[in-house]
Amino acid sequence: DGVNLAARLESACKQYSARILISDFTYKKLKGTYQVRYIDDVVVKGKTEPVGVREVLDYHNSETFPNLMDTVNHFNEGREHYKIGNWDKATKSFKECLKANPNDNLSNMYLDRVDYLKKSNPKNWDGVWVMTSK
């Protein structure tokens, strides 16, 4: 299962515009302090249980990821609103991310996703995204 999940996360890097993604399982086993942002709760293709996904940010500097802390803080706010289906507040927070870091493609992805979810109005929304491709 671990190898399968690692393969799914590796292929998800492009979707999330991330270089390094790790699962919650890996994150909890890390020793030391790392800069990460919790980016999603997903059900990967071929599984039924959601897994938390985090992006490792340690390789960035102020040029490759300006205003990192502001961006991550706004992103976390956006994710909280997203998880409970508060689409308008989620949109506002993700737009704040882009003000802090215009190149944060993950925030753009979430803006697209929120727009899609707002239009489709999913019943029983639980904040978990189901990945449909490997």
129 or 32, higher pLDDT: 129
Burial zone of 95 (CB within 10 Å; 0-12 exposed, 13-18 middle, 19+ buried): middle
Q: Which range has the worst mean pLDDT, 24-33, 62-71, 77-86, 103-112?
A: 24-33
Average pLDDT (106-115) is: 97
**Between residues 44 and 77, which one has the greater pLDDT?**
77
Of the candidates 128, 132, 133, the residue with the CA atom closest to the CA atom of residue 51? 128
Q: What is the pLDDT of residues 63-83, one digit of tens each?
A: 999 999 999 999 999 999 999
What pLDDT sits at residue 134? 63
Percentage of residues in the chain having pLDDT higher than 90: 74
- Name the pairing type of β-strands 51-56 and 36-43: antiparallel
